[in-house]
Structure 1
């Protein structure tokens, strides 16, 4: 990698952190994607988190983390979940700190995976954004390490199952190690990879892909048929299945 490429990556990283200033507006847009009906659900989750977590929003010390099973039994290859030869690619643009993304992992992903990924109709990939703040950057870099072990989706879903309060500082090395281990990831290898230029490049690629397709909020789902162009799925009232059927 040349010095110029490194400078460009670092500049993109700085721009991503600056984009955190726009997080309030982005969070409002996220609710439009999954429908206003999720507001109450998120409120319930937030209340439960306050009761069950420590003061910084992280799971209590010594408490076992929850493990998501939504992707169990589904093969993953370099971050792509499902049959690599599936004719349709669905991409989810996410931020690991996004509470609406965490809700989608429980309410939207299971149907998508059971009805489309497991049946070979669709393969699923993720672009891990990092605009909500430093904790998003830290988590996204470790997610890149999990992807190297073909465990990206297990890491993402397990992180969501244990998500804390945005930018509360709960995304520590210890927390990430616990998430990785619970998800079946080699935690030490993933954290070591997080400090590499390749991990930084994954963040830059996510930014570039999001800008190219117009994904300016999370979660955003896109669809690509074969070698066609990537298109944003217009999801109304949280009904991803209806939007996918219409697109197909």
Structure 2
């Protein structure tokens, strides 16, 4: 009897966590829309002179507590997140500068983690590509090197939380140090680990070439040796999870 009560309580807590994460995702999307409106108004009012002030990118990096809570209790192994015994792997190809990859990470990934990864239905694999620009290479190499510390998912989460406009030079050493610190990674050790960075990024590019990946984010579902494209038309949490549910049937 007590076992059934505990199972019901665990299910209730998972459901509440999913609902809370979806509310936070909605709030984040609303906040970004408001920022966009304000920025657009500023551009009009300054008659062609853009002087929009913004919070420092370094200050916008996700806080360590939020990252710790998101991934607490979930096994990490390099670029993989989730139970090794999960029957299906959601394979993602992303560029850290890709704005759509950032939107997925901020708005959809938290729901995927709570609804599929934490219960053991799915594990995740994130392959980083570096084609958007030089900042992609700089960020991708450091992120890849954190795989040996099993801080890769925390680092990418922190990076995407503070993602700026691509190829504007925001990926400074201080920005990367802040993301590493938020993830609990040793920045200096990762920055010196060229061998791991080379290996992880080469493996990602090889997989992308084999699967014909030409844009990001791109998703596949892997069952055993079979890899099937996951067709996504909308990066809203409910639309994404509906497509995922359909593919998992």
TM-score by length of 1: 0.73
Per-residue Cα deviation, 1:209-228 (whole angstroms, up to 9, x for no partner):
11212222111111011x23
1:52 to 38, 51, 54: 54
Residues 132-156 of structure 1 show CA distances to partners (whole Å, capped at 9, x for unaligned) of 0000001010011111111111100
Equivalent of 1:231 in 212, 228, 233:
228
Structure 1 unaligned regions, length at least 5: 1-38
What's the counterpart of residue 22 of structure 1? Answer: none
Give the number of aligned pairs.
201
1:235-246 equivalent positions in 2, closer than 5 A: 235-238=232-235, 239-246=239-246
Check if 1:213 corresponds to 2:215: no
Alpha-carbon distance in 1 for matches of 2:92, 2:38: 26
Corresponding residue for 2:124?
A: 124
- Cα distance between partner residues in 1 of 2:88 and 2:134: 33
CA 1:48–1:108: 2 relative to 1, 3 Å: farther
- Which runs of structure 2 are paired with 1:7-46 in the superposition (5 Å)? none
| Contact preservation (8 Å) 1:213, 1:231 | no
Contact (CA 8 Å) 2:143, 2:156: kept in 1 or not? yes
Relative to structure 2, which stretch is displaced further, 227-236 or 139-148? Answer: 227-236
Residue 189, structure 1, aligned to residue 189, structure 2: yes
Distance apart, 1:48 and its partner CA: 7.4
Aligned-partner Cα distance in 2 for 1:46–1:190 = 34
Bigger RCO (CA 8 Å, 6+ sep):
1
Please say which structure displays the higher CA radius of gyration. Answer: 2
* Alpha-carbon distance between aligned partners in 1 of 2:34 and 2:212, rounded to the nearest angstrom: 31
CA deviation vs aligned residue, 1:11-48 (integer Å, no higher than 9, x gap): xxxxxxxxxxxxxxxxxxxxxxxxxxxx9987656667
**Larger proportion of helix:** 2
Distance (whole Å) between structure 2 residues aligned to residue 116 and residue 122 of structure 1:
5
Deviations 1:102-156 (A, max 9, x none): 1111221111111110010111010011110000001010011111111111100
| 2:80 maps to 1:65 | no
Q: Which runs of 5+ in 2 are unaligned?
A: 1-28, 40-51
Secondary structure of residue in 2 paired with 1:148: helix
Q: CA RMSD in A?
A: 2.4
Please give the residue correspondences for 1:85-96 in structure 2 after superposition, counting only pairs within 5 Å.
Answer: 85-96=85-96
User: SS state of the match for residue 219, structure 2?
Assistant: strand
Measure the CA separation in 2 of the matches of 1:82 and 1:172.
Answer: 31
Offset at residue 201 of structure 1 (A): 2.6
Residue 171 of structure 1 aligns to a residue whose secondary structure is coil
Q: Deviations over 1:41-91 (max 9, x none)?
A: 87656667954245xxx44xxx36323533344221122111011110111
> Which residue does the alignment assign to 1:152?
152
Q: Following the alignment from structure 1 to structure 2, what is the Cα–Cα distance between the partners of residues 198 and 53?
A: 33
